[in-house]
Structure 1
Amino acid sequence: MIYQYASLGKYHLSNLKNRWIHFSNVNAFNDPFDSEIRVRHEGTEEQWRNYLKKIGENPKSINRKIWMLKAIAVANNRDQNKLYFPRKENIRYNAYVTCFSRRFDSILMWSHYAHNHTGFTRGFETKIEENLEYIDIEKGQLEYLKFGDVGRIVLFDVQYSSDPPPTANGLLEDKYVERFLKTKYIDWAYEQEVRAFCLNSWIKNEDIIHSTDCLKEIIFGLKTPIEDMKSMTLALKESGARDVKLYRCERLPDSFQIQKREIFDLDSETNNNGS
């Protein structure tokens, strides 16, 4: 099970009703070091020719670009055996991510991502096939370059490190984007984050519709108002999602920990200030 924390706001009911999982552009992340994709293009003439051919350039275009690269090398007194193109790619602007966690009981995440424990989390059941973990979605929304339209979003665990990944060489590496998107600074390790990512050319909409049976839990926070619990429960029924259990967070006595308690009768619940 993986969990996605959310605050009460403009879109929380529509997200539940429409079964949306939102993908955000990585430029919107609160950590400017997160997903900072650094790539250069440098190599021999042969490596450049192979790269340009791979991305679909025709022979005439390849010859013209090789001439340009050599001219840049001469103008900058650079080694012509290490042809370099001095530009930054806008991959960061094209990368979209949705974030989950392996844990539902993080006091910090309830405080940060669920607005002081007044929000909720959605608990999704994942599947594993051929060493790939994924969530089922409706087909026709997302097309991976390698897999095509498979009706799923593929997940990966974030890796935490004291140092960022080294700058990639775009001539020699194909999967460097994933390497940057799955690495975060070690201080974030408490989140136990799980991500799915895509490029904007892979998706038709930033809100992906998940299947009716992968959502298994809604967990309300310590301080989620009863009226909001009821409105979310109604939106959940309208979504068509099946067999979703409702829970509410509770404090464990004499500890900095929370647990979840299943709700069987929402009308018997009372508002809580978190105590």
Structure 2
Amino acid sequence: MDFAARLAAAAEATNRVMDQALQPSPAVPDRLLNATRYATLAGGKRFRPFLVIESAALFDAPADAAAAVAAAFECLHSYSLVHDDLPAMDDDDLRRGQPTVHKAYDEATAILVGDGLQALAFELITGDPVPSDVAGPLAHLLARASGNAGMVGGQYRDLNAIGLDAEGIRLMQAMKTGRLIAGACEAGAVLGRADAGARAALVRYGDLLGEAFQLADDLLDVEGTAEETGKRVGKDAGADKATLVGLIGPAAARARLAEIVAAAADTLAPFGDRASVLREASRFVADRRS
């Protein structure tokens, strides 16, 4: 399969796991369940799950376990989007081309949706069919990637991202976006019981991919449209937030993006042709319009 087909297959596998995990239950209030399904099953590229699945495939890890770990990463990511969109944070009305959860439902429900998705992420990553001997390390990895030294800390820095220099911007973006992307790549290696060298190569690839992803996102905020991206654009400049694109300009940012993509591809050399789809993923990140 080509890259587009592999991305779609990863999305389908991830959606099956999440759909099954979010079936009606007498213990779960209907409105909360509906809002959670709205937040998770109404779109999205499933890029982080794709990275888990493709990284795990390099080591022939079980596909059903990879799909469960992939869904855990997507639940964690979806929780972050629901909370980031809240009025107290980024105050966005549009996500994935539809009203954000707090607009479609209400703020309290959106907060609880995020809380529930975070818990579900750890339920999935530590349950069947994930092998018990790697479940703990995977949960630890996800917690570190998403916590105060990772995504949450990066979001805090982003909320206060005024007047940062280039190094401050890179740190903020590496934490907010990069840690979870690198964690998804590393999770595949953990699930596949990779050796230290292979695991380190995938972490380095993920770090570079995260930098590319955020840089492309910032370029879209400057050059894209709401119709293309499915969310409000121009918000960083409107909030006077520091971004690398704002600091060095779109042309220099695009040149830097090309350098990162090339470096990311180089890190996959140890895997040969088996990593061809992951190489294509770095180009997809740079070229995407949503």
Greater radius of gyration (CA): 1
| TM-score of the pair, normalised by structure 2 | 0.25
Query: Structure 1 or 2: larger helix share?
Result: 2
| TM-score of the pair, normalised by structure 1 | 0.26
